[in-house]
A and B are shown apart, each in its own frame.
Chain A
């Protein structure tokens, strides 16, 4: 069976970053930042807008931006990943159940509280009746959605696919995680995000979309050569699995120009990457993004977009560097994200010359 190439042809993002060049966020007292929202009314009709929570609005706008960027109006598939779904509406619905003794529950919060709301609302807006799916697998939710789209394009089942990663942070959820020490104590030094000496990370939120296609054209950012999701068990050796993944693609780690990893300032989390990418010889350049996006279940979408831009523009924004080891042309970026060292996502991105 003929296998098709898979390209990233469009990207869209709603994040804690302003439009334009990346900037170091001011994490403030709570180390908790919310998205900089676009004027939603420019994208969504008021009748639809009034029922939507923030994450739904953001997901729709980032999806529309990716479609526009890739020059496509109707995707063959809409596939989303989310760790928390529409948590704000879920909280409202559950709170009302408790406060009102399970009576007088508002239907809108219930309807909008499901995890697949973003994917379905994008489809409703576009009048898109094609394949529509949502993955919710904690820290590799977005990668699972990406893998689905990637495989279907690879096998010729789809020509293109819109992939979305959407998550929002709420004050209550942030507080719960704060109580169990999930976030860094404040104030913290920004250097701690590059070379972690403390536990905890910083909270963010965002919606990031990628338009995949089997066609390389003037919109193309990069080619996705391969994706591997690893459900890591104790008897697995991640170093061997990484080597096998690269070997399968005719590469060795020394031939990888840069690794974009999920370094987030949390000691245990970052040690997993350090062991793989700093202890050997000829280490690739290390790029990071979570100090710019904040940490959330689908923050890897922000990192994937930055990786795609690096390959397209052949330019690395200074704030993405953790350690620069090579200065030659960037041909291959290995995107590596793990969740509690129990699940790993390896994504090999390569440059496309048009």
Chain B
């Protein structure tokens, strides 16, 4: 799980273009949206694409997103359980 959390942080930094940020700067338990990283709806789309492209997870129910994308830790837990890649 630790490796996956680090991998997710690196992916998010790259995909969402957080220039100058390192994985250590991101708290895996902090909220991704609102406070914490302060992501918005376009970032949510980027994360959905990332989940499908990298881990083979297709999110069918948009309401699931709120729980899955609560933090990097919740994302990692969901990926661990549902990944097909």
Contact = CB atoms under 8 A, between A and B. Distances in A.
Co-assembled chains A and B: yes
A17 B33 CA distance: 41
Contacts of B42: 51, 107-108, 111
Interface stretch (A78-86, A98-106, A132-140, A336-344): A98-106
Interface in B50-76: 52-53
Interface residues of B, number: 12
Interface in B13-33: 15-19
A24 B46 CA distance: 43
Given A105-B49, A107-B45, A107-B46, A50 B18 contact: yes
Nearest to A111: B42
Interface in A257-311: none
A176 interface: no
A124 interface: no
Contacts, number: 26
Interface of B: 15-19, 38, 42, 45-46, 49, 52-53
B17 A50 contact: yes
A58 B18 CA distance: 19
Given A49-B19, A103-B52, A108-B46, 9 more contacts: A47-B38, A51-B42, A100-B53, A105-B49, A106-B46, A107-B45, A107-B46, A107-B49, A108-B42
Contacts of B38: 47
A95 to B, nearest CB: 15
B17 A106 contact: no
Contacts of A100: 53
